[in-house]
Each structure stands twice: as structure tokens, then as C-alpha cells.
Amino acid sequence: MNTSMYINGQAILGNGNALDVNNPATLEVITQVYSSAFEQLEECVAKAKQAFTIWKNLADPKIVEAFHAIAEDILSQKEELARLITLEQGKPLFLAQVEVELTVQWINYVAGLNIPVEHYQEANGKKITVYNRPLGVVASITPWNWPFMIAAWHLFPALKAKNCVINKPSEFTPLSTIKLIEIINQHLPAGVCSLILGDGKIGHALTQHPDIQKVTFTGSTGTGQKILENSVSTLKSVVLELGGNDIGIVLEDVDIDQVCRKVFMSAFLNAGQTCACLKRLYVHEKIYDQVIRKLTEMINSQVLGNGLEEGTTFGPVQNKLQFEKVQAFITDALEHGATVIRSHQLLPEKGYFIAPTLVVNARDEMEVVQKEQFGPVLPILSFSHVDEVIKTTNQSEFGLGASVWTKNLQKAEKIAEQIEAGTVWINSHADLSPEAAFGGWKLSGLGYSFGLGGLLQYTHKQSVHITAA
């Protein structure tokens, strides 16, 4: 199993502390990786800076060719990669396969983007050309929930814009990202795409480094804020994709069975460990009880277990900290008078398993409603007037996403217009597209990803004014 870092295209072990990588379904140690020493980080940045002098001048068709070759290699190793994702992350194998497939789709989409050049001609004959130039070396810090796909979301737009990138995966799930960087390094020049491991200090050192021009980070709001602080002295730009507390608003006219199937998937996808998951559900009082009944059926139909075993539909929470955090939300809700409905399924004896849980008769002021749970628990509240729910939605400190569920699309679009969030879905949730901007308002983030706009976040403008001598 590859446990290397990648510096200047070379697979190299970290000189720092040994870190266990655990299987969250069995609590067994899969392997150990070694965190980077500070000197290794310095070398990594220096080599990336050197590689940039070549990479920034490479013709775009060569980059497109390399991206397609990487995508093909990933697809040809889909089964092996999916097993690795399941082993370290915990999600069921079918979902890990989807993660690999989506990654391939995203890489091919980014390959096809063209970086625009603007041309202007003034009346006096002066010509102006506005270019989108690469930045230099970009740092990418990726999380443990979708370790393979989110790494690709960070890396490929930055590379396509002709930057060099240094990725630091989560210490909980480094293995599938290492494999991704190994494949990338088989197709790109040395130093263009590197990987560094850390255990509590490297992320800070990397994002503070004066030779890093930009930081792209997906994770908690608190760490995002620290990264923003680190950007001040050198005025680096950042893309921060942080927490959310996405609301789902279900109006009374819906087809309950159909909507509940989709709501279940949107809330419990990846055991709820997805920033864009639906995290609190507001249901019109006329259909509240029916929705609870249907969602209870849905949670009871899940098969909890090791994602590598056939038939498993629901995996564990990825790590101990998250496991304890989610349990604490459920306990707090119970202590404050909510009713908790848990799936009937027996939990496996070992592993960070939490049964999919509905918190019924939840109230706005409960922690499980106010905060991001990032786990398999969904608070459900009832409402009588949609205007009240829109007000509640906008009182949140987060503004990542929201969804409206109704047959009345016109009404839904009017509601969407009033919601303070980066994405509003109508009759779906969390189904992202490589073309559509994705980013959070308020404490959910800064900057955005995806589409040409997302790619251009990895460039700066240069206007060249040409006057004839």
C-alpha cells in the first residue's frame, strides 16, 4: 500500500511522526503514514516553484491530453480505488464507486474548459488584451468525507490554469488521495502536483508560507478562519468551502413517497457527512406525520455494516471525534424534550456506527437544529406559514445551500430568490454539477468552485495595453 508523500515527482516517506490510518468500520489499523518534517515542506514548495517556470508555459492541448489520460487511468483502476476509499473512509462500496466515477467526470469536464482572453480596441488605436494568468504555487487542504473526489475538485482547476499544486489530505483518509497523486504524477512533470502529510502543524505552515499564492480548503469554519488569518501577511487569496446547515422546506402539495425517498438520500448521503447534505427538515404541518412515517420506513430499510461487505447500504461515521460529536447532538436533543426515532437495525459490535436517526418534534433553538451535525441525524420541524421558515433559514450563520420541495415551481423560484445561500435546489438537494458555481455565503465560505468561474479563481488578471510606437 502506497503511504508516500510526493515531492518533485518522487515518492518519499515523511520524516515526522507515524500516524495510524484506521478502518472506521472495524477500528483496525490499516497502515501507518509519516507526517512531513518542516524541511520536507520547504523542499516541496521550492520544487513546486521551480516546476511552475516550466508548467506555466506548457501549451493547453498537452494539459488536456494529460488530464484525459489521468481520467482513463483512474477509470481503469476504479474497483481498487473504490475499495481503498471504503477501507479508510467507511462508505459503502457502491458509493465509493460513484465517488471515483464522479471524479473522472469532473476531470474530463475541467479538461474541456477554455481560459478566455478578452480583446478591446480604443478609438485612438490602442489595443488592450486581458489575460487570466496563473498564480504560482497553490496549497490544497482536503477533508475525510469525500477524500478522492474533493482532492480532484481542488487539483484539476488549479492545474488547468497552469499552477503547481501541493495537496495535504486529511490525516484520517490519506491513502486514496496518495493513490490519486501517484496517478497524476505518472502524467505530469515532476513538481507540478505534490502531496505532503501532516499531523497538526503542517497545514498551518503550508498556508502561511510566503511562496504559496493561494489556498483552497474544504473543512470546518474555524480552521477556514485560521487559514484566512494566515493569508493576511502575503495577501494570498483563498477559496474556503466550509460548514453548512442546509435547510429543506417541504410544502404541502408534494408526492410524499417520492419526496421522502429523495430527502432521505439528501440527508443521509455518506452517513450525513457531506457539507451539502440536507441538515434540517421543515415540513408543512398538514403532512408532517405522513413524512415522519415514510422517513421511518426509509431508515429501517438500511443495512448498516462494513462497506466492503455485500448488501451494506449504510457505513460508519469516519472518526472518533465525529462519532462523539454526533452522539452528543442526539443526547442534547433528548435532554431538551425531542423524540428520537432510530433505525431498528442492530449495530455492528465494532466501528463508529450510529443508526440513522430522526429527531422528531425538534425546535429551532435545539443544538441539533442550530449547528451542523455532519452525521446520520436529521431534525424535523413542522411549520404552518412558509414565510416564517424563510425567516428562520436566513437567521442561520451559515449560507451554503437550501432546498424547496413542491409541485409549484413558480412559487419555489420565488422562495429561492429570498433565501440567503450559495445554492438553492428545487425538488432535489446536494446534487452538484461541475458547471454550476458552488460556494457558501456567510460562515459557509469564501470564493467558489466549479465551472469556468471556479477555474478562474486560480488566475489573476493581466491587462496588456498596446500602443503603436
Of 44, 260, 275, 277, the catalytic one is: 275
438 lies in the site for ligand NDP, by CB under 6 A: no
194 lies in the site for ligand NDP, by CB under 6 A: no
- Grid coordinates representing 165? 499544486
Residue for grid cell 419526496: 259
Q: Which stretch binds ligand NDP (CB under 6 A): 136-144, 186-194, 251-259, 450-458?
A: 136-144
| Phi/psi at 413 (5° precision) | -65, -35
451 lies in the site for ligand NDP, by CB under 6 A: no
- Grid coordinates representing 324? 462523539
Find the binder of ligand NDP among 68, 204, 261, 442 (CB under 6 A): 204
Residue for grid cell 449504510: 314
Inter-residue contact 341 to 365 (CB < 8 Å)? no
Residue-wise burial string across 12-27, b where 16 or more C-beta atoms lie within 10 A, e elsewhere: bebebbebebbbbbbe
Q: CB-wise, 303 or 321, nearer to ligand NDP? A: 321
322 lies in the site for ligand NDP, by CB under 6 A: yes
The rounded distance, in Å, linking the Cα atoms of 48 and 134 is 13
Q: Which stretch binds ligand NDP (CB under 6 A): 140-148, 173-181, 330-338, 420-428?
A: 140-148
Q: CB-wise, 158 or 250, nearer to ligand NDP? A: 158
In 353-419, beta strands by DSSP E: 357-360, 377-383, 398-399, 401-405
Inter-residue contact 314 to 268 (CB < 8 Å)? yes
Q: Give least dist CB 146 to ligand NDP, A.
A: 8
323 lies in the site for ligand NDP, by CB under 6 A: no
Q: Which stretch binds ligand NDP (CB under 6 A): 88-96, 105-113, 192-200, 328-336?
A: 192-200
Task: Kindly state the greatest CA–CA separation across the chain.
Answer: 81
Find the binder of ligand NDP among 109, 251, 372, 381 (CB under 6 A): 372
351 lies in the site for ligand NDP, by CB under 6 A: no
CA dihedral sign, ordered 77, 80, 82, 84 = negative
Q: CB-wise, 229 or 435, nearer to ligand NDP? A: 229
Inter-residue contact 146 to 274 (CB < 8 Å)? yes
Cα 379 from chain centre: 22
Find the binder of ligand NDP among 325, 342, 363, 411 (CB under 6 A): 325
137 lies in the site for ligand NDP, by CB under 6 A: no
For residue 1, give the nearest of 184, 194, 179, 180 by alpha carbon.
179
Of 241, 260, 277, 372, the catalytic one is: 241
To the query of whether residue 44 is one of the catalytic residues in this protein, the response is no
147 lies in the site for ligand NDP, by CB under 6 A: no
246 lies in the site for ligand NDP, by CB under 6 A: no
Find the binder of ligand NDP among 71, 152, 202, 381 (CB under 6 A): 202
CA dihedral sign, ordered 161, 166, 171, 174 = positive
The rounded distance, in Å, linking the Cα atoms of 430 and 263 is 10
Catalytic positions: 241, 275
Residues found near ligand NDP in the complex (CB under 6 A): 141, 143-145, 168, 170-171, 198-204, 207, 218-220, 223, 226-227, 230, 241-243, 275, 322, 325, 372, 374
